[in-house]
Amino acid sequence: MNIYVGNLNYATTEEELNSLFAQHGNVVSVNIIYDKYSGRAKGFGFVEMENKDEAMKAISELNDKEFNGRNIRVNEAKPREEKKRNGREDFRRR
């Protein structure tokens, strides 16, 4: 199950995020999102967990909890939507 993690401290590493979620179950992957121009973290990322029950438990226990000096937002990740430009789909991504 894919989990969205927001309001991350910009200095948070993927290893730290992995350690936090590993306390609640088996973590498959961790991906912090970075700005492609500046290389700076955007303050959010995604954690994929193997077991849905463990993921739901992690969401309920970690949402709005302090981590690295900030209260993180944790919820089930929604599927990514295609961006639209001028009311049209952006076909350049395809």
Does any domain span residue 91?
Answer: no
Phi, psi of 46 (to 5 degrees): -135, 140
> pLDDT digits over 44-87, tens only?
999 999 999 999 999 999 999 999 999 999 999 998 777 666 66
CB 33 within 8 A of CB 41: yes
Q: Write down the pLDDT at residue 81.
A: 78
**Does residue 90 sit within a domain?**
no
Enclosing domain of residue 25: 2-77
For residues 48 and 72, give the distance between their C-alpha atoms in angstroms, rounded to a whole number: 16
Residue with token string 């430009």: 85
Instruction: Give the per-residue pLDDT at 85.
Output: 66
Is 89 part of any domain?
no
Please, which pLDDT band fits residue 20 given cuts at 50, 70 and 90?
very high
Q: Is residue 41 part of a domain?
A: yes
Q: Are 47 and 29 in contact (CB under 8 A)?
A: yes
Within-domain flag for 17: yes
pLDDT score, position 93: 54
Cα 29–Cα 12–Cα 18 angle in degrees, nearest 5: 30
Tokens 């309920």 belong to residue? 60
- 69 in a domain, yes or no? yes
pLDDT for position 80: 79
Number of domains in the chain: 1
Is the predicted pLDDT of residue 94 greater than 60, yes or no?
Answer: no
